[in-house]
Amino acid sequence: MRLPPEIQFYKDAHLLVYRPHGLLNEASVNKVTSLIEDLEEKLKEPFDRFFDTLEHDDVELNFRYVINVSLYRRLSYAGHPPIKSAILATDSTTARSAEQQCCQQNHKCTRRTRDHAE
């Protein structure tokens, strides 16, 4: 399967890494969600996810959309082995969206913050 440049899959580590660039919106989330579903179907084994959002420019996602995607993924992944997901975010909008998704999927949420020295 050919992956777009912003997505890498490390088969030996069972890890998908997504590094979005530009605008993080419904179209980009739909694209990566679809790709994850295709990989789940093809590989037939669980893999972890890491989303590095440091290079995106802006977030254009609303609360309702985040909830809908989270619930859809929760239902579509039901019955599969557990996986781990991590989202690296430095802006509050992305961090809030990640927390909403985590809570909707009934995952244990850990938020780590670091103050930057000025």
Q: How far apart are CA 85 and CA 47, in angstroms?
A: 9
Domain assignment of residue 26, yes or no: yes
Query: Are 9 and 3 within 8 A, CB to CB?
Result: yes
pLDDT at 24: 87
| Domain extent at residue 86 | 7-104
Nearest CA to 19 out of 47, 48, 49, 56 is that of 56
Domain assignment of residue 97, yes or no? yes
CATH of the domain at 13: 3.30.750.24
Name the pLDDT band for 115 (thresholds 50, 70, 90).
very low
Q: What is the pLDDT of residues 43-83, one digit of tens each?
A: 989 999 999 988 888 888 888 888 888 889 888 888 989 88
Q: Are 46 and 36 in contact (CB under 8 A)?
A: no
The reply to whether 109 falls in a domain is: no
Cα 94 from Cα 100, distance rounded (Å): 10
31 part of a folded domain: yes
Q: Is 118 inside a domain boundary? A: no
Our count of domains for the chain comes to 1
pTM assigned to the model: 0.76
| Residue 53 domain flag | yes
pLDDT category of residue 117 using cuts at 50, 70 and 90: very low
Contact 46, 83 (CB under 8 A): yes
Asked whether residue 99 is domain-assigned, the answer is: yes
Does residue 33 surpass a pLDDT of 50? yes
The answer to whether residue 111 sits within a structural domain is: no
